[in-house]
Structure 1
Amino acid sequence: MVVTTKAIVLSAIKYAEADLIVSCYTEGYGLKSYLLRGVLKSKKGALKTSYFQPLTQLEIVAVHKDKGTLERIKEAKIAQPYRSLHTHVVKSAIVLFLSEMLKNAIQEEEANPPLFHYLAQSFYWLDNHEQVANFHLLFLLKLSAYLGCYPDASNIDAPYFNLSEGNFQETDSGLYCEKGPAVAVFKGLFGIDFDSLPQIKLTKSERKHTLNLLLVYYQLHLQGYKKPRSLLVLNQLFN
Structure 2
Amino acid sequence: MTNVTEAIILSSIKYSETSVIMKCYSEEYGILSFIINGIRSKKRTKFSLSSIEALSIVEIEFSKLKKGELSHLKNIKSVIIYDDLRFNIIKSNIALFLSEFLSNILRFEGENISMYMYIKDSLIHLDKISKYENFHISFLINLLEFLGIKPEINNENYKFFDIENGIFKNLHDSNYCVGGELVIEFKKLLGINFDQYYEILKTTNQRRNMTNFLMKYFKFHISGFKRPNSLEILNGLFS
Q: Which residue of 2 aligns with 1:52?
A: 52
Distance 1:59 1:230, change over 3 A: same
1:237 aligns with 2:221: no
Q: In structure 1, how many angstroms separate the alpha carbons of the residues matched to 2:161 and 2:201? A: 21
Segments of structure 2 that go 5 or more residues without pairing to the other structure are: none
Q: Which residue of 1 aligns with 2:213?
A: 213
Q: Which residue of 1 aligns with 2:105?
A: 105
Deviates more, 1:154-163 or 1:55-64: 154-163
Q: Which residue of 2 aligns with 1:184?
A: 184
Q: In structure 2, how many angstroms separate the alpha carbons of the residues matched to 1:70 and 1:2? A: 14
Shift of 1:80: 1.3
Q: Any conservation in 2 of the 1:97–1:234 contact (CA below 8 Å)?
A: yes
Q: In structure 2, how many angstroms separate the alpha carbons of the residues matched to 1:90 and 1:182? A: 25
Q: In structure 2, how many angstroms separate the alpha carbons of the residues matched to 1:164 and 1:53? A: 35
Q: Which residue of 1 aligns with 2:22?
A: 22
Deviates more, 1:52-61 or 1:191-200: 191-200
- Within a 5 Å distance, the mapping from 1:41-190 to structure 2 comes to 41=41, 44-190=44-190
Q: Any conservation in 2 of the 1:46–1:76 contact (CA below 8 Å)?
A: no
Percentage of pairs with the same residue? 36
- Offset from partner CA, 1:116-149 (integer Å, 9 cap, x none): 0010001111111011111111111111111111
Deviates more, 1:227-236 or 1:217-226: 227-236
Q: Any conservation in 2 of the 1:57–1:78 contact (CA below 8 Å)?
A: yes
Provide the secondary structure at the position in 2 that maps to 1:132: coil
Distance 1:25 1:208, change over 3 A: same
Q: Which residue of 1 aligns with 2:224?
A: 224
Q: In structure 1, how many angstroms separate the alpha carbons of the residues matched to 2:218 and 2:159? A: 21
Q: Which residue of 1 aligns with 2:38?
A: 38
Provide the secondary structure at the position in 2 that maps to 1:16: coil
Q: Any conservation in 1 of the 2:105–2:225 contact (CA below 8 Å)?
A: yes
Distance 1:96 1:81, change over 3 A: same
Q: In structure 2, how many angstroms separate the alpha carbons of the residues matched to 1:126 and 1:66? A: 37
Query: What number of residue pairs does the alignment pair up?
Result: 239
Q: In structure 2, how many angstroms separate the alpha carbons of the residues matched to 1:67 and 1:232? A: 37
TM-score (norm 2): 0.94
TM-score (norm 1): 0.94
Q: In structure 2, how many angstroms separate the alpha carbons of the residues matched to 1:66 and 1:149? A: 32
Segments of structure 1 that go 5 or more residues without pairing to the other structure are: none
Shift of 1:32: 1.0
RMSD: 1.6
Q: Any conservation in 1 of the 2:163–2:216 contact (CA below 8 Å)?
A: yes
